[in-house]
């Protein structure tokens, strides 16, 4: 990785930001357009320093095996699994692409970034159990979720989740589902491996280089202004395609690009905190990722979960997230990020959201005012015998939730997913939002290729299908392909335990 700007003159493609999204797009371009010159600018001193850093996210390979917010209950009690199926299929796309990279010798050992960890959903109370039974019936009817186990037997759960069950009242109603197909992913390590491989094939990755302005030229290309964060020196490069993979920094840059497609969008930053323990005794009693239900009025990204993590060879447990508020769009951002993002074209949307999202406001204030012992009490709902001194608070990444103008009503709405913004006749794309995030990076970046290069995608399809066999297919609708893809990725990514 270089801090020198010199080799970056007028590349075919500029990727802004050194997170998992840019890293994935750089890798995909290596598959479909290996002769294009690609330059990456990262403002921080290293890649994967923001949301893609291992301690800045929860490392869950989101395959919808345990996240209850992907399977909402309707008023009649039925459970909709549509979103869960899509997320699972998207994660299978990531797994296939990572398998290709492993086979091609581009990422070293898969153990450096992905580990099998069972995914469990856990609820208490009669209403929770009824929901869980209905959800299990609906999910296990889908090919991608076949094999999902259900129990409301406390003895079985004590085997699945010793730490969660110890000290629980014997008469408490509990229910859970479990999938052995779950994973923990070190997205920081993956990002570094992808950039290392990209550099080997000639991609220039520059750190300490902040992109400060984007301007469309008369010839359709973009002028990218880059400032060296150490020397303050400023340079410009020209490119014909620009991807703004700047995470929380994407909104201000897309606003600078002044594309009409960004009008009306705003961002609302929510910071996350986790309790962490490295106690070997606790870690050995919890070899799973367990997701519960969000509190009433709480946003989907606040779903509590207790996760086994494997980072740099060390095991630990994370519990959270606890939400916080900071006006910064990046951990290393500025307190002016939020106020400076308010523009005449998004002021209405942002004001509308501030008025409409009273439950969220109340939730955030409640979270902010929580004392250390109140946070510990939240933990004991998951780990009844938890001792405060075993757990430390760590601050995770910033999530900038998307605020968007609803076309039908003209009002601003807060979204918890991701939004790909494409402008300039497909010469610029940027990703806003954070969920389901890094796990679906490959699908998100394939969408960038499809939307920005519609005239080339047909020619690229055969090569993409070679490296991602399910590309263009719904795995849930093709059992033979699903079985083949599963077996292959399990073996290549060494997920058989």
Query: Which residues of the chain form contacts with ligand FAD (CB under 6 A)?
Result: 16-22, 41-44, 49-52, 56-60, 62, 187, 210-211, 245-247, 249, 253, 272, 321, 330, 396-397, 399, 431, 434, 436-439
Q: Whole-number minimum distance, CB 75 to ligand FAD, in Å?
A: 30
Q: Which residue is nearest to ligand FAD (CB)?
A: 19
Q: Whole-number minimum distance, CB 401 to ligand FAD, in Å?
A: 10
Q: Whole-number minimum distance, CB 152 to ligand FAD, in Å?
A: 27
Q: Whole-number minimum distance, CB 468 to ligand FAD, in Å?
A: 18
CA 231 to chain centroid, in Å, comes to: 33
Task: State which residue, 301 or 350, has the beta carbon closest to ligand FAD.
Answer: 301
Q: Whole-number minimum distance, CB 443 to ligand FAD, in Å?
A: 12
Q: Whole-number minimum distance, CB 126 to ligand FAD, in Å?
A: 30
Q: HEC profile for 45-74? A: CCCCCCCCCHHHCCCECCCCCCCHHHCCEC
Going by C-beta distance under 8 Å and a sequence separation of 6 or more, which residues neighbour residue 392?
A: 275, 276, 277
Task: State which residue, 246 or 353, has the beta carbon closest to ligand FAD.
Answer: 246
Q: Whole-number minimum distance, CB 440 to ligand FAD, in Å?
A: 7
Q: Whole-number minimum distance, CB 224 to ligand FAD, in Å?
A: 9
Task: State which residue, 16 or 386, has the beta carbon closest to ligand FAD.
Answer: 16
Going by C-beta distance under 8 Å and a sequence separation of 6 or more, which residues neighbour residue 274?
A: 58, 318, 319, 320, 321, 322, 393, 394, 396
Task: State which residue, 174 or 211, has the beta carbon closest to ligand FAD.
Answer: 211
Q: Whole-number minimum distance, CB 462 to ligand FAD, in Å?
A: 28
Task: State which residue, 228 or 345, has the beta carbon closest to ligand FAD.
Answer: 228
Q: Whole-number minimum distance, CB 184 to ligand FAD, in Å?
A: 9
Q: HEC profile for the chain? A: CECCCHHHCCCCEEEECCCHHHHHHHHHHHHHCCCCCEEEECCCCCCCCCCCCHHHCCCECCCCCCCHHHCCECCCCCECCHHHHHHHHHHHHHHHHHHHHHHCCCCCCHHHCEEECCEEEEEECHHHHHHHHHHHHHHHCCHHHCCCEEECCHHHHHHHCHHHHCCCCCCCCEEEEEECCCEEECHHHHHHHHHHHHHHCCCEEECCEEEEEEEECCCCCEEEEEEECCCCCEEEEEECEEEECCHHHHHHHHHHHCCHHHCCCEEEEEEEEEEEECCHHHHHCCCCEEECCCCCCCCHHHCCEEEEEEECCEEEEEEEEEEECCCCCCCCCCCCHHHHHCCCCCHHHHHHHHHHCHHHHHHHHHHHHCCHHHHHHHHHCCCCCCCHHHCEEEEEEEEEEEEEECCCCCCEEEECCEEEEEEHHHCEEEEEECCCHHHHHHHHHHHHHHHHCCCCHHHHHHHHHHHCCCCCCCHHHCHHHHHHHHHHHHHHCCCCC
Task: State which residue, 175 or 317, has the beta carbon closest to ligand FAD.
Answer: 317
* Rounded Cα gap, residues 364 and 405, in angstroms: 22
The contacts found for 154-161 with CB under 8 angstroms, 24 or more apart, are: 160/118, 160/120, 160/288, 161/120, 161/122, 161/286, 161/288, 161/290
Is residue 226 within 8 Å of 5, Cβ to Cβ?
yes
Q: Whole-number minimum distance, CB 330 to ligand FAD, in Å?
A: 6
Task: State which residue, 352 or 397, has the beta carbon closest to ligand FAD.
Answer: 397
Q: Whole-number minimum distance, CB 333 to ligand FAD, in Å?
A: 8
Q: Whole-number minimum distance, CB 437 to ligand FAD, in Å?
A: 3
């Amino acid at each position: 990785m270089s801090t020198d700007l010199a080799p970056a003159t007028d590349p075919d493609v500029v990727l802004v930001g050194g997170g998992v999204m840019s890293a994935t797009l750089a890798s995909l371009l290596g598959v479909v357009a290996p002769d294009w010159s690609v330059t990456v600018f990262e403002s921080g001193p290293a890649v994967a320093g923001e949301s893609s850093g291992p301690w800045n996210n929860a490392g869950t390979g989101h395959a919808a095996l345990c996240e209850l917010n992907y399977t909402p209950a309707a008023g009649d009690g039925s459970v909709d699994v549509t979103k869960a199926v899509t997320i699972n299929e998207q994660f299978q796309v990531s797994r296939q692409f990572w398998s290709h990279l492993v086979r091609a010798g581009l990422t070293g050992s898969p153990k450096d970034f992905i580990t099998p960890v069972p995914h469990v959903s856990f609820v208490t109370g009669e209403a929770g159990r009824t929901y869980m039974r209905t959800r299990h019936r609906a999910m296990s009817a889908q090919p991608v979720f076949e094999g999902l186990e259900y129990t409301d037997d406390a003895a079985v759960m004590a085997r699945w989740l010793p730490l969660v069950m110890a000290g629980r009242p014997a008469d408490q109603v509990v229910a859970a589902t479990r999938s052995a197909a779950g994973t923990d992913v070190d997205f920081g390590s993956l990002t570094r491996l992808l950039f290392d491989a990209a550099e080997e094939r000639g991609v220039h990755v520059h750190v300490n280089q902040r992109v400060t302005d984007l301007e469309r030229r008369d010839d359709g290309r973009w002028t990218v202004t880059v400032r060296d964060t150490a020397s303050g020196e400023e340079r410009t490069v020209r490119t014909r395609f620009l991807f703004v993979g700047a995470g929380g920094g994407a909104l201000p840059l897309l606003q600078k690009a002044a594309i009409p497609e960004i009008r009306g969008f705003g961002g609302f930053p929510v910071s996350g905190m986790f309790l962490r323990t490295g106690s070997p005794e606790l870690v050995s009693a919890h070899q799973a990722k367990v997701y519960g239900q969000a509190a009433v009025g709480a946003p989907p990204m606040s779903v509590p979960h207790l996760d086994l993590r494997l980072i740099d060879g060390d095991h630990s447990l994370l519990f959270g997230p606890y939400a916080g508020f900071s006006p910064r769009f990046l951990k290393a951002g500025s307190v002016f990020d939020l106020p400076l993002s308010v523009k005449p074209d998004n002021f209405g949307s942002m004001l509308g959201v501030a008025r409409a999202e009273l439950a969220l406001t109340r939730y955030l204030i409640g979270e902010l005012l929580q004392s250390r012992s109140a946070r510990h009490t939240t933990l004991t709902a998951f780990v009844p015998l938890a001792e405060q001194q075993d757990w430390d608070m760590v601050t995770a990444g910033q999530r900038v939730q998307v605020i968007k103008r609803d076309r039908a009503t003209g009002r601003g709405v807060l979204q918890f997913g991701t939004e790909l913004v494409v402008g300039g006749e497909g010469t610029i794309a940027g990703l806003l939002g954070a969920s389901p995030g890094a796990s679906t990076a490959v699908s998100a970046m394939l969408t960038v290729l499809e939307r920005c290069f519609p005239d080339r995608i047909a020619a690229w399809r055969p090569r993409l299908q070679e490296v991602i066999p399910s590309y263009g297919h719904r795995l849930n609708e093709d059992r033979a392909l699903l079985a083949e893809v599963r077996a292959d990725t399990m073996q290549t990514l060494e997920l058989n335990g």
